[in-house]
Chain A
Amino acid sequence: MNKPVRRIAIFCGLLVLALMIRDNWLQFVQADELKNNKHNLRVTIARYSQPRGNIIVDGQAITGSEQVNGVTYKYKRSYKDGPMWAPVTGYSSQVYGSKYLEGVEDKILTGDDDRLFFNRTIDMITGKGKKGGDVITTLNAKAQEAAFKELGDKKGAVAAIDPRTGKILAMASTPSYDPSTIAGANDDAAWKKLNADKDQPILNRALRQTYPPGSTFKLVTASAALENGLYDSVDQSTNSPLPWNLPDTNNLPLNNEGSLPMCKNGSMREALRVSCNSVFGKISADLGNQKMMAEAEKFGFNQKDLTVPVGVAESVYPKDNRPQNAMDGIGQASNRATPLQMAMVAAAIANNGKLMQPYMVDKLRAPNLNVIDTTQPKVLNTPLTPEHAQQLQSAMETVVKDGTGTAAQIDGVRVGGKTGTAQNGVDNSGKPYAWFVSYAMTDKGSPVAVAVVIEGDKDTARDDVAGGKLAAPIARSVMEAVLKTSK
């Protein structure tokens, strides 16, 4: 009987061996994958076992870490002026992950970044817990406050940048929400409510929502006309008929808003001042889809991977047939832009044709206050020559001085702007979007360019929505705030 017993001994040995091999597979080969699995709560537990680093604006932290000493989590994220800063910070939730800056700079904020390795090691040796680093932003608290307050209970967004460097100064989006309300472990009711909200409060409209840019896009069309030598200056007559018919159509005219007789043969300055669709539709048609697209791309359109470092939705100047391309040239048809994109257009013109790469993280700071990384301003593109840019500046200043943008005037400061009222939906059935883009100019160059978009509601009369009335005052407040603080 011993022979089978020996075989059973081997069999039992094989069973144990199989278990040991499986254990090696699980705890050695697959260990990292299982450890960092998105369902593994230990990742979140570790993340909230120490205070998180802060997001800083103008030297003040706009985030905090609240000690909760819960069963699972020791700390919870808190936010100062949450709704105002939500488009910047995003959220860091114990249950729902993180978004925007909280998500993009997560490794710095938790202290896991490789650049913090030295700090971590020192802390480990001295027995201190891991600490998170800080993210110092480029934002301007006063400008942000102005933007958020002025937007009020309207639905819309504001993006403001410093044209000289590309620093993002304000980024507001309404309706907003307080990220503190979804930071904890038991906030599923608030989370569900936020996500079910039709107005999408979590959405950062300044970066992630694209709108038809409407007449504000005429700035790009004007740039294309100058850059491609269609006209020598903004004051040259454009030889445009009125009404002007869309190409390849059965004499379908491209109408202006209201009766604008000065659009006939008007200069680009005049056409910008009163916002002639006929003139810019014709320019777009004369240049053709390819040249229009090329100029738009120089301003940042059709760029899928722009980050600030939060990802920006792609603004689109589409490939289209001739009549559609003419419509694209006045910011309609399939033309789509984010508010940040339109602020970039104004900024490039204000910065004498040089488009700076927009960014919102100025510095990354280690827990011991050593700066570990500084973002250097970088030229993204040069859509205009300085001479052409200055011509456009002068035309934009005319718009504010005695055109559609008078509401943006600031005493003693050169302000250039362009209004826009984008039609929405088939046959203008949807609510219109009111746009205003502008810049302010001082003797040290332009410190601020801003784009404002307001989503009108059904009750708003169409002329009320016109960018000059709804959006321009907001842009003025933001520019004033920046001018005051930059003195």
Chain B
Amino acid sequence: MAAISPLPNTTPTAIITVGQPSRRNTELILLAFAVVIPCFAYANVGLALDGRMPSGMLGYGIGLGLLAGVGHLAVRRYARYADPVLLPLATLLNGLGLVIIWRLDQSERFRALKTFAPAATHQLLFSALGIALFVAVLVLLKDHRILQRYTYISMALALVLLIAPMFFPPVNGARIWINLPGLGTIQPGEFAKIILAVFFAGYLMVKRDALALASRRFMGLYLPRGRDLGPILAVWAMSILILVFETDLGTSLLFFGMFVVMLYVATERTSWIVFGLLMSAVGAVGVASFESHVQARVTAWLDPFAGWGKSEASEQMAKVLMTFGSGGVSGSGWGQGNSDLIGFAANSDFILATVGEELGLAGTMAFLLLYGLIVERGVRTALAARDPFGKLLAVGLSGAFAIQVFVVAGGVMGLIPLTGMTMPFLAQGGSSVIANWALIAILIKISDTARRPAPVPVNNPDAEMTQVVRP
């Protein structure tokens, strides 16, 4: 962070900007690693399970290589100065996610089930769609500031996306899916995350002065005026409604957290954080007091083994924790664990447990660091961005990404109560992987604008004249 000095936004023509290197070749080298590592992992699973190289090895390697190549070329052409680490990180996570999903497809225990359907091929297809959306965003979105124009349209769209699942039957206790006959199911919350970030950024851009300045000081905190509380109350109410009607604790927490983060950045007022924390605590405790679905999750979190044989949620949590524990420090190795014992949602919500068992503490730490790197590159983009809208959008998206990783990984590892969300890029699920590629595309676009050298000023002969002549 300290390496980036805020670029001066005063008259650019008076400064000679040193052209930053585009770092596209760095990105290419990193991408090569991001493709080769999952290929090795894939080979490893095959060798462990059948003692020979998996037959789909070549196709998989070429497929992932192509996707990464297309992404890279698009960045090279349409976002030359973009951050060079984001694309390789996303590719690596996506590639490893595919390997884990394929590995779980090989499980004899799953194959014996009537409901079994291999998921890896679909996921590869969705990853391709994700890259396509990634390229489309890079090509179509000439400048991220254009998004500012669509502030209120975004709001309307986000609301529609959030409300829509209420009209569809719940799946496994949560109403977070839209069922399109013939096309499959969509999880609109994943897209709403990005669209809401656009709305929040646009809205806060306009209102931030009012929210920041019109306040009273009380006990060291700046208390906002009553009417300025409106927006945060509205978002809070929306989150609570999601929680109550869609019984989706994760999404609810994610949206509210994202809003608080952006509000804080926009106004620089710590009081919003305090308010946000208080409100989410009140909301969570309030809803948990009457929602049995949430209660079961909390009980399962407090003592998973106590509910063995009594509560499905507890038993599931206990199984996940035992999966992590069985991995130990170094893990059982690719393909040699028994994470399929978790059964339901082993390759989606609980996919991190497979990482935990087969790659051990070492591997899980590496995955967490990869996520941490994506988040910090996103926040760094926010720091480097020159326009407040870009800053807000970048910090909002990165913050949401961080919260999502925390809520999912923390839930799966028993740090917080479990919520039904997916690990970005890793977990099986089309909506998630597509939406997250779009998120990366927007961050890349903002970072491109931020790192793009300002136009080199035309040499002014008069200026040269005034140079100090050294003796």
Residues of B within 8 A of A442 (CB): none
| Tier of interface size on chain B | 35 or more
Q: Can you name the residue of chain A whose Cβ is closest to the Cβ of B327?
A: A27
Interface residues of B in 318-366 (CB under 8 A from A): 318-319, 321-322, 324-329, 338, 341, 356, 360-361, 364-365
Interface residues of B in 287-328 (CB under 8 A from A): 305, 308, 318-319, 321-322, 324-328
- B268 and A1: CB pair below 8 A? yes
Residues of A within 8 A of B395 (CB): 5, 8
B424 → A minimal CB distance (Å): 13
A318 → B minimal CB distance (Å): 39
Known: A23-B365, A39-B308. A28 touches B371 (CB 8 A): no
A5 → B minimal CB distance (Å): 5
Known: A1-B391, A5-B265, A27-B361. A19 touches B406 (CB 8 A): yes
- Chain A contact residues: over half helix, strand or loop, or mixed? helix
- B305 and A19: CB pair below 8 A? no
- B376 and A13: CB pair below 8 A? yes
Interface residues of A in 223-278 (CB under 8 A from B): none
Which one of B124-132, B217-225, B409-417, B454-462 is at the interface?
Answer: B409-417
- Chain B contact residues: over half helix, strand or loop, or mixed? helix
Most buried by A among B322, B341, B364: B322
Interface residues of A in 1-34 (CB under 8 A from B): 1-9, 11-13, 15-16, 18-20, 22-24, 26-28, 30-34
Known: A23-B368, A27-B360. A18 touches B375 (CB 8 A): no
- A15 and B405: CB pair below 8 A? yes
Q: Can you name the residue of chain B whose Cβ is closest to the Cβ of A6?
A: B1
Residues of B within 8 A of A28 (CB): 328-329, 361
- B322 and A34: CB pair below 8 A? yes
Interface string of A36-56 (1 = CB under 8 A from B): 010111100100000000000
| CA distance in complex: A8, B410 (Å) | 19
A27 → B minimal CB distance (Å): 4
Asked if B388 is an interface residue, CB under 8 A from chain A, the answer is yes
- A interface residues, tally (CB under 8 Å): 37
Residues of A within 8 A of B364 (CB): 23, 27
Asked if B250 is an interface residue, CB under 8 A from chain A, the answer is no
Residues of A within 8 A of B137 (CB): none
Interface residues of B in 385-433 (CB under 8 A from A): 388, 391-392, 395, 398-399, 402-403, 405-406, 409-410, 413-415
Known: A6-B383, A9-B379, A19-B368. A34 touches B402 (CB 8 A): no
| CA distance in complex: A13, B326 (Å) | 27
Residues of B within 8 A of A12 (CB): 372, 375-376, 379, 398-399, 402
Asked if A98 is an interface residue, CB under 8 A from chain B, the answer is no
Residues of B within 8 A of A154 (CB): none
- B324 and A27: CB pair below 8 A? yes
B224 → A minimal CB distance (Å): 16
Residues of A within 8 A of B391 (CB): 1, 5
Residues of B within 8 A of A11 (CB): 261, 402
Asked if B382 is an interface residue, CB under 8 A from chain A, the answer is yes
Most buried by B among A2, A4, A71: A4
- A2 and B383: CB pair below 8 A? yes
Asked if B264 is an interface residue, CB under 8 A from chain A, the answer is yes
Q: List 29 A-B contacts (CB under 8 A).
A: A1-B266, A2-B6, A6-B1, A6-B383, A9-B376, A9-B379, A12-B372, A12-B402, A16-B369, A16-B405, A18-B406, A18-B410, A19-B410, A23-B365, A23-B413, A24-B361, A24-B365, A26-B413, A27-B356, A31-B327, A31-B361, A34-B321, A34-B322, A34-B324, A37-B318, A37-B325, A39-B322, A42-B322, A45-B338
- B residues with a Cβ closer than 8 A to A are 1, 6, 108-109, 112, 261, 264-266, 268, 305, 308, 318-319, 321-322, 324-329, 338, 341, 356, 360-361, 364-365, 368-369, 371-372, 375-376, 379-380, 382-383, 388, 391-392, 395, 398-399, 402-403, 405-406, 409-410, 413-415
- A residues with a Cβ closer than 8 A to B are 1-9, 11-13, 15-16, 18-20, 22-24, 26-28, 30-35, 37, 39-42, 45, 71-72
Known: A13-B372, A19-B405, A40-B322. 9 other contacts (CB 8 A): A4-B265, A9-B379, A9-B380, A13-B376, A15-B405, A22-B415, A31-B328, A35-B325, A39-B308
Closest 4 CB pairs of A and B: A34-B325, A27-B361, A16-B372, A12-B402
